[in-house]
Structure 1
Amino acid sequence: MTTPSPLHIHLIAICGTGMGALAVMLKAQGHHVTGSDKDVYPPMSTVLSEQNIPVYKGFSVAHLAPQPDLVVIGNAVSRGNPEAEAVLSRKIRYASMPETLKTFFLWNKTSIVVTGTHGKTTTTSMLAWVMEQAGFDPSYIIGGIPIGWATGAKLGAGDVFILEGDEYDSAFFDKRAKFLHYLPDIVIINNIEFDHADIYNNLDEIILAFRRLVNIIPGNGLLIGAADDEHIQALMQGAPCTNQTFGEGINARWAARQVNITPEGTTFNLYEEGSYRDQLTIPMYGAHNVQNALAVVAAAEQVGVPWEKTVTGLGSFPGVKRRLELRGVINGIHVYDDFAHHPTAVEATLCGLRSAYPDKRIWAIFEPRTATTIRRIFQAGYSTAFDAADYILFAPIYLPHKAPEGNRFSLEELIDGLHTRGLHALALPDVDRIVNHLISHVQPGDHLVFMSNGGFDSIHEKMLKKLEAL
């Protein structure tokens, strides 16, 4: 499918990670791109400015003059937005972000869609890095930014397009999961758990979204999934394509054994169908990142990446911003930024760090922020998610009124439970109090992990500045 070029394409809510990445790729394809958003701030504002993409702060019908050929409406936009209302009333051509990706970029590419409740961003980044280093010049769109890269999106000249596939809905006018638009040839499913309580009522609804994705993989395609996830295995049984599994179990097609985690990273022996293949090293911590690497190995093999390029690519992967990203080391105190918010992700992050530093003190500083986190659905899950930390600090719940009062997450209940189990946990009223508490108690050799899916009021920078001033 081809589209006329150049078009004037306007993006409403352009500063979201996916929308900003789409804007960059549309610009690279030769289109005149504009956008608007409620708030315009770095890093996305910087990325868009460097691409000479005009961005309007706030929403106004004036931003639609002259009238665009196409308006892309982000899934953060709801009815009542003045630009969206004007688009509907004037019958201006419009589409969601994933539909636009499909129309403009995916019809003539081999589409690799990386999905799952956890690990999508890291796995997508790792695969893009391996293929980039191998000279494949892939296209990619990632929900985060690999360390050392300016953006999480690129329009490459190669035949492969790698996409982070989200099960979240596409737009207010299209409630299908985003990944159903992505014309998948290869699908990776890392894991399936309940999430997105604001749009899914239960786990069965999430599994249905993944089943619909599997059902559109072509017969000559490939489904790559975790061997130890019962939901993925059930999907594989009815898949219309070839399946490959990965994991630590003996039944996995791609298996990791003899896993060794040190401060330098993680080393493991790779087995293919029960036979030793090679020893791999990734400069990351944790069993969850070993799983991510196994999925990358399977996908890279499928598209013909030379084996030695896969090995060296994995070994040189720099990581992803906000995924246990080391922001600084001052006076022997390590400060990390991490995106974890689901209990499973919190536990995996802290356990990975504990494996690398078994004798060091670990502080977990957590902001309950997502639409799911602020609900009771994860109340029990959080009760053990922080066990690998020595000390746990909680910021106030972000916008708690967005959760129904009878279904609201209770920080007090969680802390009482942690105290009952002998853990050191404390809630503090704001970021400044958290930083001051840490300054009064941290010691050289401590590791501080700040966890939030938002900006956390720049707590990392505030902490580093305070440490520098000591």
Structure 2
Amino acid sequence: MSGPFLHAISGTPTAPGGERRHLRFHFIGICGTAMGAVAAMLKDQGHTVTGSDQSVYPPMSTFLEGKGIKTDSGFSADHLPADKDTIIVVGNAISRGNPELEAALDEKRLYLSLPETLKYFFLRQSHNLVVTGTHGKTTTTSLLAWLFQHAGKEPSYLIGGLPKNFTEGCRKQDGKHWILEGDEYDTAFFDKRSKFLHYLPELVIINNVEFDHADIYENLAAIQLSFRRLVRIVPRNGIILVNADDPSALEVVKESPAPLLEVGFGPNAGARIGDVAYFPDRSEFTLFGHRFTVPLSGEFNVRNAAMAVAAAHFYHIPLETLAQGLAAFEGIRRRQDVRGVKNGVTVIDDFGHHPTAIRETLKGLRHQYPGRRLWAIFEPRSNTTRRAVFQQSLPEALGEADGVFVAQVAALEQIAVADRLNPEKVVSDIAAMGKPAHYSANADTIVAGLVPLLQHNDVVVVFSNGGFGGIHEKLLQAI
């Protein structure tokens, strides 16, 4: 590694006052949400930052411009700064063949992944709380960051969504804690380990461990191996909070060198969630002998809230302060997010793209909208749901709704027919349950088919991890 880099990460003073040495960074793929946020944090620390991306447009282009970060549109070797000590940050979406990456490799430039950049330049000086699991990461991370913020601890945070209590999903603040959403997806083209292995955790939350990311993991055992690796790097003076009701999660912590706290509903939980009550606008529960209210629906969100409370309590935040903070949580965009109400029909946007998340979201919406007819629209768009992995479990999950529309598999030409999800079969399996179910190729045909079926007081929830052809606005205009 180059001299400037070693000076920077070691904190070696290079001038009176002990400030770190000024560095130059270039981000390949800078317009990703996390990439842009970390680039801005480095710029705020006084470093020179440039970047490039295939598509440079608002709001990220405006945000970067406001920070004084020069950003080139498209990828070219000419975009690399001439200074050979520039640290190249390579985004997760960048692969071999990218002209800037190829030039950096040819010239033996120093390059890092985004998680490595966080580790070296931010996380080595802080106490890091890492939230992991197949489901609930974004909600639990947002809750935890807000509880610390409400308690006046000014945490830094990295969240894979936009919490409504904050103005952005990633921010460097003055407190000593970093709260990070720990993704099990791979790090970069050159590092196929999970991102969360770079985050130097002092506290880890493991919400649940299920099969997902079929494009990089062969089976559940492969995912469990990655979580075991995370468990091994938690220091002895740290702690792991694990879902006491998930056998797969309990399996990965069996040989933990760090203390464990099992959080859950069952009798074996060290921190037991009790006296749960659900209301249209909130859920209530008891933990550590204290009553909590969270303005979210369903069992999954109660568990997410309990995990966040237990983690914050480990850092001696008083239970009453945590209760006040929890009650003031405003939620996250694209998590049961009401996009509009038109002629008595409520349209909701949700990021859910795994059968478990879909099922639990629908159950939560039953509490939130009691007695109302619930329609589910699903776009198979993630790398896993486009495959046949969930052919059996998707009908069971979507069957929690009163009626279902399933769209065509996104980018279906990328997956062989034998490996591809069959949405028509999903629909026929739901219809066999006695529920209205329809296959319709795209947003326009779904809107045309659904709107004549809607009645006053119906609730429509759209499940997609993409834009889905602007279906929410099209529905609201057509109703």
TM beyond 0.5 = yes
Contact 1:225 1:232 in 2 (8 A): yes
Matching residue of 2:43 = 27
1:118-166 CA-partner distances (Å, limit 9, x unpaired): 0001100110011111110001101111025321001011110011111
What is the CA RMSD across the aligned residues, in angstroms?
A: 1.6
Do structure 1's residue 189 and structure 2's residue 203 form an aligned pair?
Answer: no
Match of 1:39 among 38, 52, 55: 55
Q: Which amino acid aligns with 2:433?
A: R
Matching residue of 1:393 = 405
Match of 1:11 among 27, 35, 39: 27
Matches within 5 A, 1:338-353: 338-353=350-365
Q: Which amino acid aligns with 1:16?
A: G
User: 2:71 & 2:451 partners in 1: Cα distance?
Assistant: 39
Do structure 1's residue 249 and structure 2's residue 261 form an aligned pair?
Answer: no
Do structure 1's residue 405 and structure 2's residue 417 form an aligned pair?
Answer: yes
Matching residue of 2:324 = 312
User: 1:438 & 1:419 partners in 2: Cα distance?
Assistant: 16
User: 1:365 & 1:316 partners in 2: Cα distance?
Assistant: 30
Quote the offset at 1:456 in angstroms.
1.2
Q: Which amino acid aligns with 2:265?
A: E
Matches within 5 A, 1:4-403: 4-67=20-83, 69-270=86-287, 272=288, 277-403=289-415
1:316-350 CA-partner distances (Å, limit 9, x unpaired): 11111111111222332212111100111111111
1:238-279 CA-partner distances (Å, limit 9, x unpaired): 110111011111221222222222221111222x3xxxx121
Quote the offset at 1:291 in angstroms.
0.6
Matching residue of 2:450 = 438
SS of the residue 1:439 aligns to: helix
User: Which range is displaced more, 336-345 or 49-58?
Assistant: 49-58
Shift in CA distance, 252/372, structure 1 to aligned 2, threshold 3 Å: same
Shift in CA distance, 365/48, structure 1 to aligned 2, threshold 3 Å: farther
SS of the residue 2:341 aligns to: strand
User: 1:226 & 1:46 partners in 2: Cα distance?
Assistant: 41
Contact 1:371 1:402 in 2 (8 A): no
Quote the offset at 1:67 in angstroms.
4.1
Contact 1:98 1:178 in 2 (8 A): yes
Shift in CA distance, 111/98, structure 1 to aligned 2, threshold 3 Å: same
User: 1:52 & 1:363 partners in 2: Cα distance?
Assistant: 46
Contact 1:227 1:251 in 2 (8 A): yes
User: Which range is displaced more, 356-365 or 39-48?
Assistant: 39-48
Contact 2:355 2:397 in 1 (8 A): yes
SS of the residue 2:193 aligns to: strand
User: 2:82 & 2:454 partners in 1: Cα distance?
Assistant: 57
User: 2:105 & 2:260 partners in 1: Cα distance?
Assistant: 43
Shift in CA distance, 444/30, structure 1 to aligned 2, threshold 3 Å: farther
SS of the residue 2:438 aligns to: strand
Quote the offset at 1:56 in angstroms.
2.3
Q: Which amino acid aligns with 2:370?
A: P
User: Identity over aligned residues, as a percent?
Assistant: 48
Matching residue of 2:4 = none
Q: Which amino acid aligns with 1:29?
A: Q
1:435-468 CA-partner distances (Å, limit 9, x unpaired): 233332322212111111111122222223334x
User: 2:108 & 2:363 partners in 1: Cα distance?
Assistant: 52
Contact 1:144 1:152 in 2 (8 A): yes
SS of the residue 1:9 aligns to: strand
Shift in CA distance, 256/394, structure 1 to aligned 2, threshold 3 Å: same
> Mind listing any 5+ residue stretches in structure 2 that lack a counterpart?
1-8, 12-19
User: 1:317 & 1:46 partners in 2: Cα distance?
Assistant: 28
SS of the residue 1:363 aligns to: strand
Quote the offset at 1:231 in angstroms.
2.1
User: 2:420 & 2:138 partners in 1: Cα distance?
Assistant: 28
Quote the offset at 1:43 in angstroms.
4.4
Quote the offset at 1:51 in angstroms.
3.1
Contact 1:114 1:188 in 2 (8 A): yes
TM-score, reference length from structure 1? 0.95
Matching residue of 1:448 = 460
Quote the offset at 1:189 in angstroms.
0.3
Over 6 Å off, 4+ runs: none
Contact 2:386 2:421 in 1 (8 A): yes
Contact 1:5 1:30 in 2 (8 A): no
TM-score, reference length from structure 2? 0.93
Contact 1:28 1:155 in 2 (8 A): no
> Mind listing any 5+ residue stretches in structure 1 that lack a counterpart?
none
Contact 2:300 2:360 in 1 (8 A): yes
Q: Which amino acid aligns with 2:275?
A: Q
User: 1:369 & 1:67 partners in 2: Cα distance?
Assistant: 41
1:394-421 CA-partner distances (Å, limit 9, x unpaired): 1211001222332111111111111112
Quote the offset at 1:13 in angstroms.
1.5
User: 2:294 & 2:36 partners in 1: Cα distance?
Assistant: 29
SS of the residue 1:328 aligns to: strand
Contact 1:301 1:307 in 2 (8 A): yes
Quote the offset at 1:89 in angstroms.
0.6
